[in-house]
Amino acid sequence: MSDSVSVDYEAVLADLRAKRDRLDAAISGIESMLGIRGLSGTTPKQTEQASPSASLGPGAFLGMTIVDAAKKYLAHKRQSQRTEEILNALVEGGLVLTGEKPVNVVGSVLNRNFNSGGEIVKVARGVWGLASWHPRLKKKNGDSKSAGEDSSATAQSQASASDDSATDESAADLV
């Protein structure tokens, strides 16, 4: 008695997606009714008008770190984004931030990642992009890779070293 049961996984997947869409619509309706959408101070109408992570889906960032979620969002948008835009997308994508000022939390985490040579770089104050888009902005061990900054730092350290050796020689002459 080996009756083979065939499962149409495409139909199962379509059914699950339809159920998910209904749940997302119900959640969105309740959030709008309560006015609790977004932790950054945006109102439900503002959030619905400009939904930064709409194509990624409401659970796109569940269980991710801020850095990983921001990398995923930036890669999806394919352009540099402001901290506030990244925050709004992460919150809409299911990332939970509990601090008093979530925009400061996101900015601090991204800045720490940038300073440690991570994959997210600071393009301008409060503007972030991926290091692959801006190779000259990427830091490694806290040092910038751009030639201008490296050569000026090297020149300063060499000048400082020659000043120290000249001071040592003049002190030896006095003795």
In this prediction, residue 140 carries a pLDDT of 58
Look up residue 103 and give its two tokens.
């925009």
The DSSP 8-state label assigned to residue 35 in this structure reads: T
Distance CA(152)–CA(155), nearest Å, equals 5
In a domain, 5, yes or no: no
Look up residue 82 and give its two tokens.
């402001």
Q: Which domain holds residue 125?
A: 19-145
In a domain, 119, yes or no: yes
In a domain, 100, yes or no: yes
Q: pTM, whole model, 2 decimals? A: 0.51
Mention every residue, 6+ apart, whose C-beta is less than 8 A from residue 95: 61, 62, 64, 66, 69
Q: How many helices and strands (H and E) does the chain possess?
A: 6, 5
| Helix orientation angle between 66-77 and 83-92, rounded to the nearest 10 degrees | 100
In this prediction, residue 105 carries a pLDDT of 94
Number of domains observed in the structure of the chain: 1
The per-residue pLDDT for range 77-96, each reduced to its tens digit, is 999 999 999 999 999 888 88
In this prediction, residue 50 carries a pLDDT of 46
In this prediction, residue 42 carries a pLDDT of 40
**Per-residue pLDDT for the chain (175 aa), expressed as one digit of tens each?**
556 788 888 888 777 888 887 787 777 777 766 766 543 334 444 444 445 444 677 788 888 999 999 999 999 999 999 999 999 999 988 888 888 899 999 999 999 999 998 899 999 999 999 998 888 887 755 454 433 344 444 444 444 444 444 444 444 444 4
